[in-house]
Amino acid sequence: MPPLSNLAARDVETLVHPYINLATFRETGPLIIERGQGVYVFDTEGKQYIEGMAGLWCTALGYGNEELVEAAAAQMRKLSFAHLFTGRSHDPAIELAEKLKEIAPVPISKVFFCNSGSEANDTQIKLVWYLNNARGRPHKKKIISRMKAYHGVTIAAASLTGLPANHRDFDVPLPGFLHTGCPHHYRFAEAGESEEDFATRLAAELDALIVKEGPDTVAAFIAEPVMGAGGVIVPPRTYFEKILPVCAKHDLFVISDEVICGFGRLGTTFGCEKLGFKPHSLSIAKAMSSAYLPIAAVMIPETWYQALLVESRKIGVFGHGFTYGGHPVSAAVALKAIEIYQRDQVIEKAAKRAPLFQARLKALNAHPLVGEARGVGLIGGVELVADKKSKRPFLPQVGVGARVVGFAEEEGLIVRAVMGDVLTLSPPLVISAVEIEELFDRLTRALDKALDWVTRGHLTQS
Ligand SMILES: Cc1ncc(COP(=O)(O)O)c(C=O)c1O
C-alpha cells in the first residue's frame, strides 16, 4: 500500500467517514475530490473521473452550474438566513412550496421543509403518529417498510431502513417498525415464478403481515419507487398495482420515498409516476436542489393537514421543525434547479437518453462476473456473482465490489458498491450520449480487470 499523502493522512486522523470499514480505511485513505465540471470531478492530483453516481444520487444538473451558484449568491446577499418558526416566513420558501404543489404527482395541500432525506422520513412518521392521534386512532401506529429499503439513518428513518448494517449494534429498528418482502425478482422469486406471480405473492405476504399484526395497529406503508441503496431494485411488473389495494383495504397511508427517484431519475418528475402508483404523501430531497445545498421536504395532503389543525388547536402548537428547514438560500437554489429542469426539459431529455443507458447497462449481463444488470431511466445496478448459473454471490470478505470500484477509479469512473457486490450507477441527468458511452466503456474495462484479478487466482470464486 503506497503511503498516504499529507492531506489523506490528515483526513484519516480527523474524520469519521460514513459507510466505510473504519479499520481498513486507515490503510487505504480517502479519494479526495477537489473540483467538478459537468459530469466530471477531479481529484487533488488533477485526475478526471466521470461521476457515475452523481455524488450520492443527487447532483442531477452536474457540477459548475453558474445559474445555481448565482441563485445562491444573490439570495445570500439579500437575506442569508430566515426561519419558518413561530409564523415567520420568507419569499423563497413560499415560492418553492407553491412550485412543489404545482408539480406534485398527487394533490398536495402543504409542504413541510427539512434538510435531509432522513429528516423528511422521520417527519413522515411523526406526522402519521400525530394525525392518527388526532383522528382518535391512537393504536394505529406501526409502519411497514421493506427488506433492503433505504430511508435514512436517524433513529426512526434507520428503523424504516431494511439493511442489516444500518441496524446491527445500533439497537434499531425500534419496536413498531416492520419489514415486508423485498421486491427483487432475481433474488427472491421462486423457480419459474413470473414477475406478475411474484408481485401477487408479495402483496399476499403484505396482507398477511398486516392481518397478523392487526390492521387497527398498522398505520402506513413506505416505499422507494425503485430501491436505491439496497441495490437498485426495480420492482416486478404489477407490484404497486397489487400492493396499493392491500394498503387501501387496511386503511394504511402510502408514503413514496422519492429522495432518489424524485426529479427525473426514472425519466418522470417523480418515481411513482413511472411506477404507476399514487401515494398519499412524498418525501423529496437530493436532486430538488441538484445537491448544491441541502434541502428536503414532505409533501402533505389536505386530509393530513386538517388533522394537524385539530392537534394544533388541542395542544396549542405544532411542535416540530428544524432550524434550517426551508433555509432561504437552499430554497432559492431549489427553485432555480426546478426552473432549469422545466425550462431546459432536463427530465424529458434524460428520458430520451435512457434507452441508450439501459442498453449499455443490460449488455453487461453478458459479462462473466455479472449476475444481473438492472435499472430504469438513468439508474442502474450491476450485481456481481461468483457463479452466474446458481447466482451464488462472492464471499463478502473477498470484496469484489470494492475491487471493481477501485479498478473503475483507475479507469476514471466513480461508481459505488452497495450491499457488498452490487455496483450502482446514477450519473447526472445532464450526461450526454457520448459521455454515457464513455461511462460504460470505462466500467467494462474495470469489470475486465476484476475478472482478470479473480481468474488469475488471487482468490477462488466463492
Ligand atoms: C430513498 C432514500 N431515502 C432517504 C435517504 C436519506 O437521505 P439523507 O442521507 O439525506 O438523510 C436516502 C439517502 O440516500 C435515500 O436514498
Q: Looking at the DSSP assignment, which residues form a beta bridge with residue 404?
A: none
Please, which pLDDT band fits residue 461 given cuts at 50, 70 and 90? very low
pLDDT at 10 > cutoff 90 = yes
Give the closest residue to 221 by CA, choosing from 297, 281, 300: 281
**Has residue 460 got a pLDDT over 60?**
no
**Probe ligand 1: pick from 125, 154, 259, max atoms within 8 Å of CB?**
259
Interaxial angle between packed helices 117-134 and 302-315, expressed in degrees from 0 to 180 and rounded to the nearest 10: 70
Q: Which residue has the cell 483507475?
A: 410
Residue type, 255: I
Given a cut of 70, whether residue 314 has pLDDT beyond it is yes
- Write the residue with the smallest CA distance to atom 16 of ligand 1: 260
CA of 283 to the centre of ligand 1 (A): 9
Q: Rounded to the nearest whole angstrom, what is the distance from the C-alpha of residue 418 to the centroid of ligand 1?
A: 14
Q: Which residues pair with 366 in a beta bridge?
A: none
Q: How far apart are CA 73 and CA 120, in angstroms?
A: 26
Ligand 1: centre distance to CA 405 (Å): 21
- pLDDT digits over 114-161, tens only? 999 999 999 999 999 999 999 999 999 999 999 999 999 999 999 999
Percent of the chain with pLDDT over 70: 99
Residue 372 grid coordinates: 444481473
Note the pLDDT of residue 419: 84
Q: Which of 124, 232, 260, 263 to mutate to test the pocket of ligand 1 (most atoms within 8 A of CB)?
A: 260
Q: What is the pLDDT of residues 239-279, one digit of tens each?
A: 999 999 999 999 999 999 999 999 999 999 999 999 999 99
- Return the C-alpha cell found at 459: 482468490
Residues with CB under 6 A from ligand 1: 56, 116-118, 121, 150-152, 224, 228-229, 257, 259-260, 285
Distances (CA, A) of 48 to 58, 291, 417: 19, 20, 20
Cβ-count burial of 83 within 10 angstroms (0-12 exposed, 13-18 middle, 19+ buried)?
middle
Can you tell me the distance from the alpha carbon of 34 to that of 402, in angstroms, rounded to the nearest whole number? Answer: 22
Nearest CA to ligand 1 atom 13: 152
Q: Return the ∠ at Cα 37 (arms to 48 and 119), rounded to 5°.
A: 105
d(CA 145, CA 128): 14
Cβ partners under 8 Å of residue 241, min gap 6: 276, 277
Those residues whose C-beta lies under 8 Å from the C-beta of residue 204, and which sit 6 or more positions away, are none
Quick check: 330 pLDDT over 70? yes
Ligand 1 center–CA 128 separation, angstroms: 19
Q: Which three cell numbers stand for residue 131?
A: 394525525
Asked whether 255 and 222 are in contact (CB, 8 A), the reply is yes
Task: List, for residues 45-62, the tens digit of each pLDDT value.
Answer: 999 999 999 999 999 999
| Signed CA dihedral, 427, 157, 160, 269: sign only | negative
User: Three cell numbers at 424?
Assistant: 450502482
What digits encode the pLDDT tens for the residues 52-92?
Answer: 999 999 999 999 999 999 999 999 999 999 999 999 999 99
Give the mutation target among 58, 123, 151, 416 for probing the ligand 1 site: most ligand atoms within 8 A of CB: 151
Check pLDDT > 90 for residue 354.
yes
Residue 381 pairs in a beta bridge with 374, 424
Q: Distance between CA 165 and CA 215 in Å, rounded? A: 29
CA–CA separation, 401 vs 268, rounded Å?
A: 30
**Are 256 and 283 within 8 A, CB to CB?**
yes
Cα(25)–Cα(22) distance, integer angstroms: 5
Q: From its phi and psi, is residue 17 left (phi > 0), alpha (psi between -120 and 50) or beta? A: beta
Quick one: which H or E segment has residue 374? strand 370-376
d(CA 202, CA 199): 5
The mean of the pLDDT values for the chain is 97
Q: Under 8 Å CB-to-CB from 145, ≥6 apart: which residues?
A: 151, 160, 161, 162, 177, 178, 179, 180, 221, 222, 223
The reported pLDDT for the residue numbered 457 is 73
Q: How far is the CA of 151 from the centre of ligand 1 (A)?
A: 5
Q: Is the pLDDT of residue 458 over 80?
A: no
Closest atom, ligand 1, to C-alpha of 115: 10
Compute the average pLDDT of residues 28-42.
Answer: 97
Give the closest residue (by CA) to ligand 1 atom 7: 117
**Ligand 1 center to 45 CA (angstroms):** 30
149 Cα nearest atom in ligand 1: 1
Give residue-wise pLDDT tens across range 92-113: 999 999 999 999 999 999 999 9
Q: Which residue has the cell 457486490?
A: 421
At residue 396, the pLDDT reads 87
CA distance 356 to 33: 28
Kindly give the number of the ligand 1 atom that is closest to the alpha carbon of 285. 10
For ligand 1, the distance from its centroid to the CA atom of residue 166, given in whole angstroms, is: 13
Rounded to an integer, the average pLDDT of 193-215 is 98
Strand ranges inside 190-244, DSSP E = 218-223
448 C-alpha vs ligand 1 centroid, how far in Å?
A: 31
| Sign of the alpha-carbon torsion through 351, 353, 356, 358 | negative
Pick the atom of ligand 1 nearest to 228's CA: 16
Query: In this structure, what is the dihedral angle of CA atoms 200, 204, 209, 210, given to the nearest 10 degrees?
Result: 100
Judged by DSSP in three states, 254 sits in strand
pLDDT number for residue 213: 98
Residue 400: the pLDDT is 95
- Ligand 1: atom nearest CA of 258 is 1
What is the Å distance from ligand 1's center to 152 Cα?
5
Rg (CA), the chain: 22
Ligand 1 mean position to 158 CA, how many Å? 10
| Residue in 63, 68, 117 with CA at minimum distance from that of residue 285 | 117
Confidence category of residue 342, pLDDT binned at 50, 70, 90: very high
